Amino acid sequence: MPQPYRSFKLKYPGPAASSIRTPKSKRTRLQKGRAAQDPTAGLQIQNPNAAAIDVGGAEHWVALPPHRTSQPVRRFGCCTKDLQELADCLVEHGVDTVVMEATGNYWVALYEMLEERQRRPVLVNARYAKNMSGKKGDIPDCQWMQKLHSYGLFANSFRPAEPVRVLRAYMRQREMLVGEASRSIQHMQKALTEMNVQLANVISDISGETGLRIIDAILAGQRDLHALARLRDRRIRASEKEITRALEGHWKEEQLFILEQARLSYAHTLEQIAACDQRLQEQTRALENRVVEASPAGAVAASPPTPLGQGLESKGQAAATPFRLGTELKRILGVDLTKIPGVGPLTAQVVLSEIGTDVNAWPSEKHFASWLGLSPDHRISGGKILGRSTRPVVHRVRTALRLSAYSLERSLSALGAKYRRLKRRLGAPKAITAMAHYLARLIWRLIREGQEYVEKGMELYEARYRAQRIRWLEKQAAEFQMKLVANA
């Protein structure tokens, strides 16, 4: 007869030493002992008059030096009067440096007010401040940041000079407006598609002259397809018959209303972009010439170019002078970055508006490339490299340089040949990052030294690369006691 089922419990000799769980009471004692240890013990105070501010949307918590007042933590509001009282309090207690986290955009007004009072504000990345050990909360957070800042454990974030910040604000506003214009074009395209008006299939851009003429005529009530097709520009490749066939659709009132709203929004956005461009030109003209310092021995210093508006008597006369972006950028930066293959005037303008003309904030070109997130971020554990990908940095200069690197695909230059070689070996994504890294280091070097870029040509690059490969092959052959012989 079959035996009834019985469960068996396997017995092991005993758990491993690493799996023995510490009793709860002992764990609590160990945690208390660890919490009692001060990680700043043994460090020397670098900023004895340091304060910290926990920035918020409705209130700010300020931690003053404990040896200066009996009430080291105080609360202030966010109105202008409250910020003035906060600055007065810092001045009263002899604070000469203040650390704060970059929380949203709540810190901007406070930062500028502290700059006016010459309190040397230090802005830190919230990610780095969060990684510092300590209790979390408004009051403990500002006290812990004050203590860490007094020991000099925070690095200040880069912030350009005030004139460059003004230019940067206009550039970012223009970027946002360009995005809104693109969305308006998409809305017009969607409305036409839902009415089965296949205008995008016969012209390349519905926001061009022909496309806008036809859309305006449709919104004005024109339904004659032949009359609409005759509005095409002579440069359009599609024939009048093809456009007539593409315009045949079913008109829907709700989609015509959406089309009208999108067209008005697009026209208004173009007006805003034009006004923003005017402000950009005025602010660019107002920037001073970059004074090129004496170069090291053996280097040739570039003489600063003459400003575009020099010798004009009034601002009106300066405004009447044609605005040449390339000339203005060369005057301000001291070098012509547009001579670098792939770097156009818009890319150079982004570089100017984001970092300014002083690159001394980064000790070397390697630091600059790493700040942009274009350097490999090696994650090493146990002597092994676990990952080589770059840090996830969102920066406008990084994006502009990656687009410039991508444009080198068909460039007949040394940089173009270098990009194509890297693309064959690494693939397009890694090659774009590598070339953007090279462009970042090149731009830092040119601005720092004040030297012009000299294009050596694709032929010279290919010859040097061939010679380098031959030397490498000869070295490999010598290791195997062989000799490399050229094919006759």
Higher confidence at residue 476 or residue 1? 476
User: Could you please report the per-residue DSSP string of 155-170?
Assistant: PPPP---HHHHHHHHH
Would you say the pTM of this structure is higher than 0.85? no
For domain 50-150, is the CATH number 3.40.50.2300? no
Measured CA to CA, the distance from residue 225 to residue 196 in angstroms comes to 14
Q: How confident is the model at residue 182 (pLDDT cuts 50, 70, 90)?
A: very high
- In Å, what is the CA distance from 419 to each residue of 160, 411, 429, 469? 31, 9, 11, 17
Q: Which residues contact 31 (CB under 8 A, 6 or more apart)?
A: none
What is the reported pLDDT for 10? 42
pLDDT for 36 beyond 60: no
Measured CA to CA, the distance from residue 42 to residue 223 in angstroms comes to 83
Mean of the per-residue pLDDT values of the chain: 83
Higher confidence at residue 290 or residue 206? 206
What is the reported pLDDT for 15? 47
What is the reported pLDDT for 433? 94
What is the reported pLDDT for 216? 94
Measured CA to CA, the distance from residue 404 to residue 207 in angstroms comes to 25
Measured CA to CA, the distance from residue 264 to residue 262 in angstroms comes to 5
Pairing status of strand 50-54 against strand 121-124: unpaired
* φ and ψ of 79, to 5 deg: -70, 165
Q: How confident is the model at residue 320 (pLDDT cuts 50, 70, 90)?
A: low
Measured CA to CA, the distance from residue 168 to residue 162 in angstroms comes to 10
Measured CA to CA, the distance from residue 342 to residue 413 in angstroms comes to 10
Q: Name which of 410, 177, 378 is nearest 275 in CA terms.
A: 177
Mean of the pLDDT values across residues 111-138? 78
Kindly give the residue spans of alpha helices, DSSP state H, lying in 313-382. Answer: 315-320, 325-333, 345-355, 365-371
Measured CA to CA, the distance from residue 351 to residue 353 in angstroms comes to 6
Measured CA to CA, the distance from residue 71 to residue 85 in angstroms comes to 16
pLDDT for 475 beyond 80: yes
**281, two tokens:** 């030109």
Q: pLDDT tens across 43-92, in order?
A: 888 888 999 999 988 899 999 988 888 888 999 999 999 999 999 999 99
Quick count: other Cβ atoms within 10 Å of Cβ 200? 15
Q: Name which of 154, 141, 134 is nearest 61 in CA terms.
A: 141
Percent above pLDDT 90 for the chain? 49
Task: Calculate the CA 449 to chain-centre distance.
Answer: 24
Higher confidence at residue 130 or residue 256? 256
Q: pLDDT tens across 271-283, in order?
A: 999 999 999 999 9
Q: pLDDT tens across 356-378, in order?
A: 988 999 999 999 999 999 988 88
What is the reported pLDDT for 305? 40
**128, two tokens:** 């780095």
* Stretch (H or E) spanning 127: helix 126-131
What is the reported pLDDT for 462? 82
pLDDT for 245 beyond 50: yes
What is the reported pLDDT for 17? 44
What is the reported pLDDT for 39? 62
**169, two tokens:** 């604000």
Measured CA to CA, the distance from residue 154 to residue 156 in angstroms comes to 7
Q: How confident is the model at residue 308 (pLDDT cuts 50, 70, 90)?
A: very low
What is the reported pLDDT for 293? 46
Kindly give the residue spans of alpha helices, DSSP state H, lying in 340-407. Answer: 345-355, 365-371, 396-406
Strand, helix or coil for residue 124: strand
Contact 99, 122 (CB under 8 A): yes
Question: What is the residue whose two structure tokens read 């315009």?
Answer: 247
Domain definitions of the chain by residue range:
50-150, 164-286, 335-455, 462-488
Mean of the pLDDT values across residues 153-161? 88
Helix axes 345-355 and 396-406, enclosed angle (nearest 10): 160
What is the reported pLDDT for 187? 96
pLDDT for 319 beyond 80: no
What is the reported pLDDT for 19? 46
Taking phi over 0 as left and psi of -120 to 50 as alpha, with beta for the rest, 103 belongs to: beta
Q: How confident is the model at residue 303 (pLDDT cuts 50, 70, 90)?
A: very low
Q: For residue 247, give the DSSP letter.
A: T
Higher confidence at residue 325 or residue 260? 260
**434, two tokens:** 């590598």
Q: Which residues contact 280 (CB under 8 A, 6 or more apart)?
A: 167, 170, 171, 174
* Stretch (H or E) spanning 278: helix 253-286
Q: For residue 33, give the DSSP letter.
A: H
Measured CA to CA, the distance from residue 396 to residue 436 in angstroms comes to 12
What is the reported pLDDT for 176? 96
- Largest distance between two CA atoms of the chain: 117
> Bridge partners of 33?
none
What is the reported pLDDT for 210? 92
Higher confidence at residue 97 or residue 17? 97
Beta strand residue intervals within 151-218, DSSP E? none
